[in-house]
Amino acid sequence: MAGDAELHCTFHGIGVSAGTAVGPLVVVTPPPKAPADEAPTTDAAAASATVHQVLDDVAKGLDARAASAAEHAKPILEAGAMMARDPGLAMGIDTQLQKGLGVATAVTAAVEEYCAMFESLGGYMAERVTDLRDVRDRAVARLLGQPEPGVPSLTVPSILAAHDLAPAETATLTAETCLGIITEAGGPTSHTAILASQLAIPAVVQAVGILGIPAETTVAIDGGVGEITVNPTAQEIELLAERKRRRAAALAGGTGNGATKDGYPVALLANIGTADDARKAAKQPVEGVGLFRTEFLFLDRDTMPTVEEQTATYTEVFQAFGTRRVVVRTLDAGADKPLKFADLGPEENPALGRRGIRLGMIRTDVLDAQLEALAAAYKATGADVRVMAPMIATQAEATWFADKVRALGLPKVGVMIEVPAAAIRSKGILYHVDFASLGTNDLQQYTMAADRMQGELAALLNPWEPALLDVVALACEGGAAMGKPVGVCGEAAGDPGLALVLAGLGVSSLSMAPGKVPAVRTALGLHTLTQCQQMAAAARAGTNATEAKAAVMAMADPVLADLV
């Protein structure tokens, strides 16, 4: 319906994954809850027939989705359909209906009882709990006359709009059918944003009000500048296409190792989360993996993967990269990435709580199993494996981790610097390990005391913030003093302008979603190291993020503007 004057408007958010697309809007609905004041059941037999019919519809819907889903998603959907047809569940619901509970309340209560039973059985059965709750949400929605919740199956290529997406939901999307992602919440370093760029899907977060746009409306998204146009005119679509062409021209050609114009090397590496990511990234001209977020392998698991299972996955990843380096981060669970099998219970401030290495030091069984699997995969492949720990704050944590890794014969050990204490005292920390990688996402959240998940605080989470650059500079000084490499693997590494600043500050590698590498390679190749150093100084002299970015853009080659 391009050109519909009534609905023609523009939304501005934060662009978190570059690229442009035009397509129909599909809205993701949140799971409904059984209403507290639901009418009680007076005719249990009739209510039972209604619920059984709804469960059958849910099962058929899941079967249909499984038939057209990608291979890795089929078993999940089929398991859900099987759950919806489970006679035990139907009987449990009938029991609740006979007690007089309303239909949606009865489904909710019966599912919870079933979940408790499955959880007590552990293992494979415990893992079915997620499927059961999904069936519950779908059945309750149907009973309340609402659309089924969650990411719908995209039958035609569409642009997805949601309040926010859980990492597990985003992971099921593919660039073939999901042309773009727009969320009302989320920040530039939220894991939804990270996964979107991982999948090379244009994405905009903080697009407040987008959920007010009716489904099926045609929208145009520019994930670089963070703009969404509702019912774009033919001229606007052409402008977007022109932007796409300019960007493609600026990116054309480069495939070599990352380096400034005068040859100062800055390794360009890929961030990955799964073996599938690894296979795809390995085909790209990247110099290896700078961050393997291993927790993404386990996000949808209720029980810990076995050592054998983990060994197989790591072996696959290492083999995909041959002689190229693979930097593996041990499980970074907690806060916004909760893992069911490594949960230490609720905390007042999860981001400041027992997450990352802190969790690893408590659940040594989980960390030891992972390191054992990594060591086995290393021995099997002889790959260039480098293992690093998340959320290191002290020298004691660094030595504790390094000792464990070295005892297993793994060749290189490092730490993530994402806590300001570690950046400020990086020299002492680097004394114990071989390398460090700056996690600018968390480093910024902790430097600014601004929750990276809280979209309202996005202004404090702009990676051009001079305070963040100062902390990065301190970390690099420690690295230079110890003669040890310091890289960056937070989202800042994938911003072509910031990449210049980071190179100027002395980082030796930049790791990002593989789709961002060409723009960063081009940006580096257009500037000398001295220019990068001058840009870094100018950015740090800014009084805020806007000034810092403006100073760099003014000094940079004009082509830089086409790269975002």
Q: 178, 191, 476, 527: which is the annotated catalytic residue?
A: 191
> Minimum distance between the CB of residue 334 and Mg ion, rounded to whole angstroms?
11
> Minimum distance between the CB of residue 18 and ligand PEP, rounded to whole angstroms?
18
> Minimum distance between the CB of residue 413 and ligand PEP, rounded to whole angstroms?
17
Interatomic CA distance for residues 487 and 439, integer angstroms: 9
Tally of CB atoms within 10 A around 456: 12
DSSP-derived secondary structure letter, 265: B
Q: Do the Cβ atoms of 150 and 134 come closer than 8 Å? A: yes
CB of 269 or CB of 551, closer to ligand PEP: 269
Q: Which of residues 369-428 bind ligand PEP (CB under 6 A)?
A: 418
CB of 125 or CB of 200, closer to ligand PEP: 200
Q: Which of 137, 332, 434, 562 binds ligand PEP (CB under 6 A)?
A: 332
Interatomic CA distance for residues 471 and 447, integer angstroms: 8
Interatomic CA distance for residues 375 and 85, integer angstroms: 43
Please choose, out of 6-14, 41-49, 158-166, 435-443, the segment that lies near ligand PEP by the rule CB under 6 A. Answer: 435-443
Q: Which of 82, 81, 79, 114 is nearest to 96 (CA)?
A: 114
Interatomic CA distance for residues 70 and 274, integer angstroms: 15
Interatomic CA distance for residues 216 and 198, integer angstroms: 26
CB of 227 or CB of 442, closer to Mg ion: 442
Q: Which of 227, 384, 434, 442 binds Mg ion (CB under 5 A)?
A: 442
Contacting residues for 223 by C-beta, under 8 A, at least 6 apart: 15, 16, 17, 18, 19, 20, 180, 196, 201, 202, 203, 204
Please choose, out of 132-140, 205-213, 436-444, 455-463, the segment that lies near ligand PEP by the rule CB under 6 A. Answer: 436-444
Q: Which of residues 121-140 bind ligand PEP (CB under 6 A)?
A: none
Contact string (CB under 6 A) for ligand PEP, positions 482-511, x = contact: -------xx---------------------
Interatomic CA distance for residues 529 and 316, integer angstroms: 37
Instruction: Note if 163 is an active site residue.
Output: no
What secondary structure does DSSP assign to 484-528, as a single string? --EEE-SGGGG-HHHHHHHHHHT-SEEEE-GGGHHHHHHHHHTS-
Degrees to nearest 5, angle at CA 227 with 244 and 197? 65
Using CB distances below 5 to 8 A depending on partner kind, what does residue 490 bind out of Mg ion, ligand PEP, none? ligand PEP
Q: Which of 236, 287, 442, 451 binds ligand PEP (CB under 6 A)?
A: 442
Q: Which of residues 345-374 bind ligand PEP (CB under 6 A)?
A: none
CB of 32 or CB of 463, closer to ligand PEP: 463
Joined tokens for residue 321:
């990269």
Could you tell me where the DSSP H helices lie in 167-296?
Answer: 167-170, 191-198, 234-251, 275-282
Please choose, out of 35-43, 84-92, 137-145, 434-442, the segment that lies near ligand PEP by the rule CB under 6 A. Answer: 434-442
Q: 178, 476, 489, 532: which is the annotated catalytic residue?
A: 489
Please choose, out of 33-41, 293-301, 401-409, 414-422, the segment that lies near Mg ion by the rule CB under 5 A. Answer: 414-422
Interatomic CA distance for residues 194 and 549, integer angstroms: 21
What is the bridge-based pairing of β-strands 385-389 and 486-488? Answer: unpaired
Total residues in contact with ligand PEP, by rule CB under 6 A: 10
Degrees to nearest 5, angle at CA 325 with 416 and 437? 15
Interatomic CA distance for residues 450 and 443, integer angstroms: 10
> Minimum distance between the CB of residue 185 and Mg ion, rounded to whole angstroms?
19
Entry field: residues in the chain: 564
CB of 302 or CB of 442, closer to Mg ion: 442
For Mg ion, which residue has the nearest CB?
442
As to burial, measured by CB atoms within 10 angstroms (0-12 exposed, 13-18 middle, 19+ buried), residue 75 is exposed
Using CB distances below 5 to 8 A depending on partner kind, what does residue 293 bind out of ligand PEP, Mg ion, none? ligand PEP
CB of 228 or CB of 488, closer to ligand PEP: 488
CB of 210 or CB of 392, closer to ligand PEP: 392
CB of 148 or CB of 418, closer to Mg ion: 418
Residue 439 binds Mg ion, judged by CB under 5 A: yes
Helix (H, G, I), strand (E, B) or coil at 224: coil
> Binding residues for ligand PEP, per CB under 6 A?
291, 293, 332, 418, 439-442, 489-490
**Active site residue ranges:** 191, 489
> Binding residues for Mg ion, per CB under 5 A?
418, 439, 442
